[in-house]
Amino acid sequence: HDITISRYDHDTIMSCFNLNLQGWRLILASKSPRRADLLREAGIKFEVRHSQFEEDLPKNSFRGPVEYVESTAVAKGLDVFNTGLGDEERANAIVLAADTIVEGRPGDVWEKPKDEQEAAAMLKSLSNRSHDVHTGVAIVYSDRVIRSFVVTTSVKFIELDDLTISEYVRGGSPMDKAGGYGVQDMFMVESIHGDYFNVVGMPISRVLLELRDIVRK
Which run of H or E residues covers position 207? helix 204-216
Give the rounded distance of the alpha carbon of 157 from its chain centre: 19
3-state secondary structure of 168: helix
Q: What are phi and psi of 51, to 5 degrees?
A: -75, 140
CB 204, CB 5: distance < 8 Å: no
Q: For 82, which DSSP code?
A: H
Catalytic positions, written as ranges: 99
Strand partners, 25: 93
- Asked whether the beta carbons of 43 and 18 are under 8 A apart, the reply is yes
Q: Is 176 helix (H, G, I), strand (E, B) or coil?
A: helix
d(Cα 56, Cα 49) in Å, to the nearest integer? 19
